[in-house]
Amino acid sequence: MNPASELTSVIPAKNEVKLIPGLLNSLVNQDYSKMRNTKVLVADANSTDGTPDIVRSFSDRLNISVIPGGLPSAGRNAGAALAATDYLLFLDADIELASESLIRNAIELAQSKKLHCVTTNIICRDGTFADRLTYWVNDMFQYLSCLHRPFSTGMFMLFDKRSFDELGGFNTQIHFAEDYALSKQVKRSRFRIVRGGVYTTNRRLEKMGHWRVAGLFFSTAFNSWNKKFFLRDHGYWKA
């Protein structure tokens, strides 16, 4: 008899036919004992490249479904609304889990410490030195943030569902750093970073440039309490 699931994973996606198989394969390879029963909901934002078909091809290895999506915050909320589990795991479609034990370790940490949010570090596996340095700096700031007001990126966010619902989910009016804005509401004592990491690509850095990405990061950090900043259109998804 298969163990019951305690986790729902939500992945917002649009035209990710090249990269999402890497993520889904890394989910298949997780040593989390309940992975096969874990619902994986891919919130598709009207992909035109066959992403839903690729996703469904994993149905023999994962309990996976495609649901209507939109911008990441709307897609994540749509998946969360369908979840009836204690935990929600939000993943970006263009990443891969760097450790086969990442989900198990994150769940065990959340359960043992009664945490509301668990994230992990980011690794740019195939990028240039500048790409890797950019993400290394992000990781260092993330670790330092735990001393005061921690933050997470949407690449890997494990949430206690009750806490997620109490916070109101992702603000769909925010089109940039909606993951940052939500995680900043989590109490420091209920937040942790688990080792293991996720592999990401350098495509955003190639499209936007390192200086613009860094500028947006620091602007976001300096405007943590400025709601108007987050509601402004920063052109992130147009890049």
* Higher per-residue pLDDT: 44 or 225: 44
Tell whether 97 is covered by a domain: yes
Range scoring the smallest mean pLDDT among 3-12, 64-73, 209-218: 209-218
Range scoring the smallest mean pLDDT among 8-17, 36-45, 188-197, 202-211: 202-211
Model confidence at 235: pLDDT above 70: no
Q: How confident is the model at residue 1 (pLDDT cuts 50, 70, 90)?
A: very low
CA distance 41 to 81: 11
Cβ–Cβ under 8 Å, residues 54 and 76: no
Q: How confident is the model at residue 238 (pLDDT cuts 50, 70, 90)?
A: low
Q: Dump pLDDT digits (tens) for 76-123.
A: 999 999 999 999 999 999 999 999 999 999 999 999 999 999 999 999
Q: Which contacts (CB < 8 Å, 24+ apart) does range 108-115 have?
A: 109/192, 109/194, 110/158, 110/160, 110/192, 113/192, 114/190, 115/160, 115/190, 115/191, 115/192
> Into how many domains does the chain fold?
1
Q: Check residue 116 and give its pLDDT.
A: 97
Type of residue found at 111: Q
Tell whether 43 is covered by a domain: yes
Tell whether 16 is covered by a domain: yes
Tell whether 98 is covered by a domain: yes
Tell whether 102 is covered by a domain: yes
In angstroms, the Cα distances linking 67 to 79, 81, 172, 198, 230 are 8, 11, 17, 24, 27
Structure tokens at 75: 């897609």
In angstroms, the Cα distances linking 51 to 15, 17, 68, 104 are 6, 5, 12, 27
Can you list the alpha helix ranges (DSSP code H) found in the chain? 20-28, 51-56, 72-81, 102-113, 129-145, 161-167, 178-183, 203-208, 210-222, 227-231
Structural domain range at position 50: 7-234
Structure tokens at 119: 């994230």
* Higher per-residue pLDDT: 205 or 142: 142
Tell whether 147 is covered by a domain: yes
CA distance 42 to 47: 11
The model carries a pTM of 0.89
CATH number at residue 141: 3.90.550.10
* Higher per-residue pLDDT: 202 or 17: 17
Tell whether 174 is covered by a domain: yes
Length of the chain: 239
Tell whether 239 is covered by a domain: no
Q: Dump pLDDT digits (tens) for 182-223.
A: 999 999 999 999 999 999 987 777 777 777 777 777 677 777
